[in-house]
Every structure is written in C-alpha cells, then in structure tokens.
Amino acid sequence: MRPDAQAGHLPVMFAQCMEGLQVKEDGTYLDGTLGRGGHARGVLEQLGPGGRLLLMDKDPEAIAHAHAVFDGDARVSVYRGSFAQMAQWDATAQGLDGVLLDLGVSSPQLDVAERGFSFGKDGPLDMRMDPDAGESAAQWLARAEETEIADVLFHYGDERMNRRIARAIVARRAETPLTRTAQLAELISSVMPRGKDKIHPATRSFQAIRIHINRELSDLETGLDAALSRLKVGGRLAVVSFHSLEDRIVKRFIAGHAKAPAGNRRLPVAQDFEPMLKIIGEAMRADEQETQANPRARSAVLRVAEKLREDA
C-alpha cells in the first residue's frame, strides 16, 4: 500500500518523485509543498533514526494536518510559510540532501468550496493559499484597473478573451460587488463564445487570478534559488509542475545551472563554464494508469537535478 492510500489523497507521480530524490537513511529532506503529506510519508518511510524531514506549507490547514500526523516523530520539523522562505528557516542551515516541490493548488484546497479556488463549487471568492496573508481575489478584483486584470488573465492564463472579460468584471462591479466564485464563473461564461474544447470558460481566468493572488511564479523563482543554496553537493531537487509557465521557469533554472550558455563568435571567449547542477534524466510525465486514477496528473511534469558543487 502506498503511504498515502489511507488518507484518500494521491500525491502526483509518487514513485517517480521517490526515485528522483534517491532518499538516504541519514539524509535531511525538505518537502516545501506539504499538502496532505503523501510525498512526505513516502520520504519518512525511507529515513532511519538519524534522518530528518522538514515540512513547509503556507496553508494553515496543511500545517494542522502535519501536526496531527507527524507530531511525536523527532525526525520531523514543521514550518508554516512559503517554500520561498526555506533559506530563512534555521533548520535548513546545515544543508539538505533533497528538496521536493509539488507546485500549484492541492486537491484538498480545490475540494473545499469555502477556499474559493474552484469555479465548480460556489464559495467566497478568496483563492489565497494562506488565508491570513495578502488580499483575496474578491478584494483584488474590486480595486484593480481594467488593464491590470486583462494583463493577469493573458499572462498567467493565456486567456485570449482577456480584455472582454476584464471589461465585464469592471462593469459588473460598478453595479454589485463580485464576492462569490459562482458569480465570477457565470459572468465569464456570459461573455465567452462557445468553444469546441470541453473546458469550462472560466478555467483559464480562475487559474490566472489564483497565480497572481498567491504570487506563485515569483515564489517559485525565489524558492528555486533558495533550494540550490541549501542543497548539499550530491543533493537532489525534484519539482512537479502543472502548467507551462511553471515548467518553463523550472526548465530554464535547471538548464541555466547545468549547461553552458550558447556562445557568440563576435564576442570574446567567455570564462569556462562550470555546471552547478546535473540534469537527471528527461522530463517525466505520469503514466496512463495514474492519469486514469488521478486526472490532475495529466498535466504534471517532473524535473530532477543534482547539485554538483558549491558556489565559488
């Protein structure tokens, strides 16, 4: 039985993540996106008495779950905060043998209407992974300029009807505040032409607003730098992403530290490139069996890299 089976939550690409991390019994590992702890339990099962597992999440419900499941195990430490803050956590100062990041919104967050992530469940228009920090989606949509809303929908959701949707949001909020997910989903559907694809008209807009509200891409960039700084030589970085914006950042980060930049014959020869990361295998995707059992895994991409040296 997989370590998460009793919890009813399937961590995406579980076996591939465990293989990528190459867990050592006495190693120190950080799961920066704890969620409901499926990956964390898998790591913990492979640790001996001298191993350590560090758990981070900015969602208070995930932290409460971590304390309920892992309190009493001296090998485990829990920290509430974004993985972008991992270098500020004293527990990481001695170095890490592995860092795992499972990006995006978790299934438990999507399943709870009150969190406001899902257009399929009516609830408060919130979308914050940390409900105690920053402004909610409703608060942002109430104050943002039309051009800002349109830019967010386009850049983070690749929404081609971005200007039309932004115009409709601004017009509607002048009449009545947008405070519920169903309100926003219905408004977007009303101004969207019927497409041939099967996705809900609000899918891309909800994704874009969520990414913006939670600063997901900037946190990812900061978190990758922090992970590299805290990894020991030989330590592994494993990142699961769910859309092209995340994966592009991860791919460029790893490649930028693993491959020499392309040369330019018109410029002087640059200093010899010394890679700091080694790419482990090709980008991996979930197999058919997993995608049938867990549709969320269909878009998942796993990239793994190993740290080769300390920064000079």
**Is 83 annotated as contributing to ligand binding?**
yes
User: Considering only 13-22, 69-78, 113-122, 163-172, which range has the smallest mean pLDDT?
Assistant: 113-122
Write the pLDDT tens digit of every residue in 136-164.
Answer: 999 999 999 999 999 999 999 999 999 99
pLDDT of residue 273: 80
Better pLDDT: 258 or 270: 258
pLDDT of residue 4: 42
| Third-level CATH fold of 14-107+216-307 | Rossmann fold (3.40.50)
Residues of CATH 1.10.150.170 domain(s) within the chain? 110-214
**Is 72 annotated as contributing to ligand binding?**
no
Q: In this model, does residue 283 exceed pLDDT 80? A: yes
Amino acid at 290: E
Better pLDDT: 299 or 225: 225
pLDDT of residue 267: 60
**Is 102 annotated as contributing to ligand binding?**
yes
Element spanning 188, H or E? helix 181-191
Domain 110-214: give its CATH code: 1.10.150.170
**Reported confidence tier of residue 22, pLDDT bands at 50, 70, 90:** very high
pLDDT of residue 98: 97
| DSSP-derived 3-state class of residue 16 | helix
Q: In this model, does residue 2 exceed pLDDT 50? A: no
Better pLDDT: 35 or 305: 305
Q: What average pLDDT does this structure show over 229-251?
A: 96
Question: Who's near 308: CB < 8 A, 6+ residues apart?
Answer: 233, 275, 276, 277, 278
**Is 116 annotated as contributing to ligand binding?**
no
Please answer whether residues 83 and 90 qualify as being in contact, where contact means their C-beta atoms are separated by less than 8 angstroms.
no
Q: What average pLDDT does this structure show over 21-48?
A: 94
**Is 273 annotated as contributing to ligand binding?**
no
Q: In this model, does residue 312 exceed pLDDT 60? A: no
Q: In this model, does residue 91 exceed pLDDT 50? A: yes
**Reported confidence tier of residue 200, pLDDT bands at 50, 70, 90:** confident
Q: Cα 229 from chain centroid?
A: 19
Write the pLDDT tens digit of every residue in 294-308.
Answer: 888 888 999 999 999
Residues of CATH 3.40.50.150 domain(s) within the chain? 14-107+216-307
Task: Dump the DSSP string for 37-81.
Answer: SHHHHHHHHH--TT-EEEEEES-HHHHHHHHHHHTT-TTEEEEES
Please answer whether residues 217 and 249 qualify as being in contact, where contact means their C-beta atoms are separated by less than 8 angstroms.
yes
User: Considering only 20-34, 68-82, 97-111, which range has the smallest mean pLDDT?
Assistant: 97-111
- Distance of alpha carbon 80 from alpha carbon 55, whole angstroms: 8
Q: In this model, does residue 6 exceed pLDDT 80? A: no
- Distance of alpha carbon 32 from alpha carbon 88, whole angstroms: 13
**Reported confidence tier of residue 113, pLDDT bands at 50, 70, 90:** low
**Reported confidence tier of residue 26, pLDDT bands at 50, 70, 90:** very high
**Reported confidence tier of residue 23, pLDDT bands at 50, 70, 90:** very high
Q: What average pLDDT does this structure show over 254-262?
A: 89
**Reported confidence tier of residue 35, pLDDT bands at 50, 70, 90:** confident
pLDDT of residue 296: 81
pLDDT of residue 86: 96
